[in-house]
Structure 1
């Protein structure tokens, strides 16, 4: 490629050195000896910037597609409400179970309390009927024995 260039003095001169505008033109040349190194560097940098820009655009498209895919997952939309429902149901179940156990405990406590009252009343009735018989025996054992009470309790075979 032959081009005309302006020289510093302002006159036109014929340029015999080829100056390719793209890397493809540079590749078509038979020899790179006549091409200026700055032109080669400039073309390589241009192409590198183009490729980098294309790669960035492709990466951004891929990331946005992945983001859309994550948002469009069918279960993802309902995951949080399902967790909240499960936690709410578990809480209701635990409260209901606690109330049921408390009611059973209170019912059993009331039944045992009434049984204790009945047994106390029966014992009181038996003790009211028995003092006539029990007191003379107690008087006989205390008065009839010359040994102190602790010897009767611990060393006596009657107890």
Structure 2
């Protein structure tokens, strides 16, 4: 009602007398709202206040969004710095890229060498075994022929038997 009387400009004694006080009060209320808005620039300023009743939710939302975006950019910068350091480390030591493949190559080549060496050893062993078997057969044939030539009369003696064979050897 008071604002209506002020706007219409009626010449009553009451409202005209109160007009400067009303204007001062309105200016004061707007200025305090503006000063509250001007004072609050960050979330830390909100923590200094006693209550959040006079603060607009849009202001709080805007401050939270600003702080979130600041933290996001800070995290992105840290992540980019980390990636940059990792890339520099990779550039500094080019041998690191070849370390794992080199180990794999060494292990595979040693495995192939050992398998080939085992196969070669096994074939050589079988070849020697065949040679030894043939040599044993030759020696057996030679021994039998020698025994046939020299043991002809002694076998007859053994068959007629003066003494058993073990007594002839040991006694």
Place the TM-score, normalised by the shorter chain, in its bin. 0.5 to 0.7
User: Which residue pairs with 1:134 in the alignment?
Assistant: 154
**Higher helix fraction (1 or 2):** 2
Q: Distance in 1 between matches of 2:167 and 2:148?
A: 29
Q: Distance in 1 between matches of 2:153 and 2:68?
A: 119
User: Which residue pairs with 1:55 in the alignment?
Assistant: 74
Q: Relative to 1, partners in 2 of residues 1:46 and 1:99: Cα closer, same or farther, differing over 3 Å?
A: closer
User: Which residue pairs with 1:20 in the alignment?
Assistant: 38
Structure 1: which 4+ aligned runs deviate by more than 6 Å?
none
The structure showing larger relative contact order (alpha-carbon pairs under 8 Å, at least 6 residues apart) is 1
The secondary structure found in structure 1 opposite 2:55 is helix
Q: What is the TM-score of this pair, normalised by structure 1?
A: 0.57
Q: 2:121 aligns with which of 101, 117, 122?
A: 101
The secondary structure found in structure 2 opposite 1:96 is helix
Q: Relative to 1, partners in 2 of residues 1:121 and 1:32: Cα closer, same or farther, differing over 3 Å?
A: closer
Residue 137 of structure 2 is aligned to residue 117 of structure 1: yes
Unaligned 5+ residue runs, structure 1?
A: 1-10, 146-151
Q: Kindly report which structure 2 residues correspond to 1:35-114, keeping only aligned pairs within 5 A, or say none.
A: 37-38=54-55, 42=60, 45-46=64-65, 48-69=67-88, 71-72=90-91, 73-114=93-134
Q: Distance in 2 between matches of 1:48 and 1:37?
A: 21
Q: Relative to 1, partners in 2 of residues 1:49 and 1:135: Cα closer, same or farther, differing over 3 Å?
A: closer
How many residue pairs get aligned? The number is 134
Q: What is the TM-score of this pair, normalised by structure 2?
A: 0.54
